[in-house]
Amino acid sequence: MEGQKTVNFTRLLSDESVQSTLSSDSCEYYQTEIFDLLPSVQAVRSQQDSYDALKSSEAFRSGGPRPDEAFSAESQSRGPRDKLSLQPLRGLAICMQGKRSARERRKMQISNIGFWESWRRSQSIKRKRVWAHMREAGASLLPWKHTLHKIQGRFGVGVKSYFVFLRYLIYLNLLHCALISGFILGPTGFYGKNSREWLRFGGNDSVLDFLVGTGLLARSPVFFGFYTRGSLDRDCLNTPLLYLAGILSIIFLSLIMVVRRTIVGYKHTWMLEKRTSMNVSFKVFCGWDYTIQHSKSAELKQSFIRNDLKLFLEERKFNLKKAQRTLGQKLRLYLLRFILNLIVVFLLGGAFTLIYYSTNVSLKESNQVWILRLILQYLSPITITSVDLVLPQIFRKISSFEDYSLTVQVNATLVRSIFLKLASLGIYLFFLFKTTSVENRMCRENQIGIQMYKLCIFNFLTTFCNTFLVNYPRKLLQEKRPTCLLVRLCGRQRFLIPFKVLDLVYIQTVFWVGVYYCPLLPMIGVVSLLVIFYIQKFGVLRCCEAEQRMFRASNSSVLFHFMLLLGLVMAAAAPIVDFHLAEGTNTISCGPLKNETVLTVTETCVKSLPDSVQNVLKYLSSQAFALPLLLAEIIILTSYVSRGRANRKAIERLKDMLIMCSSDKRFLVKQHATLLRGPKNPNRVRPAAAEQKRPLHGAP
């Protein structure tokens, strides 16, 4: 240990860095002989001496007070700047003795400050205490808290994150329902014309209409064609503008919430993965989950940590193997990857072609039996769901031949699967917009809304059938016939977190895309997501077993929220593409924008406003406003970049402090070993102190 290289650290000079919030009594208590010999204390003391000398010389030249007077004034004014004095004692991460000392210091500070400052501090502490109690009460009111705790205890945090994400989507759709009720349903209910005549049960209506979205359901408030202008027909307060305001508020509010969760998740992921997750000591000493309640779960968590270390060593081994590849091996590998990527492109092209033909067949009229007619009506959702189930498994097999590391294989499979789901939905919408643009039989917007409704219903039916008709019988067969050949070939059922979350991202994207054509789709989504929550709960607790291999990407929600953000962007772009494709066609318009467009409705409202407001709106939409807006964006981005650099400097300083603490520990261990080897003489430390102080203070 003595032969190790000495590391020098330099701290930034500022009032916060060189001045301590501790009182002089506490400093005298801790300044023992061993404490003076610590490397961190000596480094700080040298910086403190140089800073005090510089400050005293400047004060002497400017005619200020003497250094001892300045020090006494600083020690008196140091108390009010104590940031910890504004926090409740319960929230301080210190021992009981430290809390008692903090209470005494606060009493001394109260005696030195005025009445107003004392009252302000007490009120601040009370407010923080009230907010803490309110947060605890709000956390206790969250639904399914016991269920999530039970799932976490048996399967770990990864499976729990899926159900937390599902609960977040339920909250998001409930907020959408509130916006739709305020902007669309409320004005239509008060000012609508002949609303009840649309809901009469006709002779051609049947229960089958609730599955295919025709008949009674097509005339109900579920779809776009139900809403008309009604008696609310002012220039800037009418049903079309309220309808558009409701849809835009849903899009913008969802954008804010999803971007916020993505940024927060990215920050946490960056701090954990970039700083600690690649550290083996973090995996060994900080990787345990203390919420585990079962012995099998404890053994499973041990296997998780063991497999994570194996995965880390495998990646290191793969990196060494990758560095030793020759030029010929690299060329053969790149050629193989190129061929496999061509296969992936051909599979995607075939899937899109199949979706196109199924869309054309499902939109045609047929006089078949009702069961065949129902299958033809659901041909497009069946095709999309089948493609989304089969191709990701093929992608996973293809990625295993590309000679990537395990983490890159999983990420490549996820990216391809996400692209498949969103691209298949986008291609389906594009073909649907082009196909329905020449249909003259019924309302075009209702047709598109019916297709979105079918996608939601079929996704729910797929989840139900997969759990109760596939997974549950498979689990019963494993329990009754464990030695059966079919059971051994199928293996045990696992809860695949990434693919389950991708299904949620897909269905939420369908909700966002269809909310313009089917305004009550978020309400249908809330009901379906609630039922899916309990179906998945039954499936994971009764049918599934925990994954035996650590999946690192499942713990990161940044990728899933980013894909949710892409789905939101596609949902916002879908009506714009629809308007562009439907422009100039001979279609029958319906709903609040009958025989009108968005531009004509907004232009009528703008023309009815006062001249001053019109001038302001024209300036905001002109190029003259672009330059101030660009400058404001530059200033905001510059401030955030500066804050990020300051945070990185703070992180580096904290790293230096950790290294200093480790050097202090090594020094104390060395002194302890010296005392154990030598005679028990209390005066033995003093020569060492003199030797340590000589190079510090002997320099000129």
Q: What pLDDT, in 10s, does the model give residues 398-407?
A: 888 888 877 6
Instruction: Provide the CA 137 distance to its chain's centre, in angstroms.
Output: 24
Of 345, 349, 361, 469, the closest CA to residue 395 belongs to: 345
Which range has highest mean pLDDT (4-13, 72-81, 344-353, 437-446)? 344-353
Cβ neighbors of 369 (< 8 A, separation 6 or more) are: none
Give residue 685's pLDDT band: very low, low, confident or very high (50, 70, 90): very low
Residue 23: the pLDDT is: 43
Q: Does the pLDDT value for residue 4 go beyond 90? A: no
**DSSP-derived secondary structure letter, 545:** B
Q: What is the pLDDT of residues 540-583, one digit of tens each?
A: 888 887 665 545 544 456 777 888 888 899 888 888 888 877 76
pTM, whole model, 2 decimals?
Answer: 0.72
Which residues sit opposite 545 in a β-bridge? 494
Of 239, 212, 217, the closest CA to residue 227 belongs to: 239
Over residues 172-201, the mean pLDDT reads 80
Q: Does the pLDDT value for residue 178 go beyond 90? A: yes
Residue 464: the pLDDT is: 92
Mean pLDDT of the chain: 76
Candidate from 253-257, 365-369, 648-652 with smallest mean pLDDT: 365-369
Q: Does the pLDDT value for residue 684 go beyond 50? A: no
Q: Does the pLDDT value for residue 586 go beyond 60? A: no
Residue 441: the pLDDT is: 57
Residue 697: the pLDDT is: 42
Residue 374: the pLDDT is: 78
CA 674 vs CA 1, 457, 615, 664: distances in Å: 13, 76, 84, 15
If you search the block for the tokens 């340590």, which residue do you land on? Answer: 692
Name the 3-class secondary structure at 233: strand
Q: Does the pLDDT value for residue 14 go beyond 50? A: no
Q: What is the pLDDT of residues 418-447, one digit of tens each?
A: 888 888 888 888 888 877 654 445 678 888
Residue 255: the pLDDT is: 92
Q: What is the pLDDT of residues 299-357, one digit of tens each?
A: 777 776 776 777 778 778 888 888 888 888 889 989 999 999 999 999 988 988 888 88
Residue 30: the pLDDT is: 41
Over residues 488-517, the mean pLDDT reads 85
Over residues 579-599, the mean pLDDT reads 70
Q: Domain limits of the chain?
A: 154-189+244-288+299-593, 624-655
User: How many Å from the N-terminal Cα to the C-terminal Cα in the chain?
Assistant: 30
**DSSP-derived secondary structure letter, 65:** -
Residue 686: the pLDDT is: 46
How far is it, in rounded angstroms, from Cα 124 to Cα 341?
A: 61
Over residues 83-87, the mean pLDDT reads 54
Give residue 56's pLDDT band: very low, low, confident or very high (50, 70, 90): low
Q: What is the DSSP string of 277-297?
A: IT-HHHHHHS---TT--SHHH
Cβ neighbors of 208 (< 8 A, separation 6 or more) are: 370, 374
Residue 53: the pLDDT is: 59
Residue 47: the pLDDT is: 62
**Amino acid at the residue 683:** N
Candidate from 151-155, 176-180, 446-450, 556-560 with smallest mean pLDDT: 556-560
Percent helix / strand / coil, the chain, rounded to 5: 75, 0, 25
Q: What is the pLDDT of residues 365-392, one digit of tens each?
A: 666 677 777 788 788 888 888 888 888 8
Q: What is the chain's Cα-based Rg?
A: 34
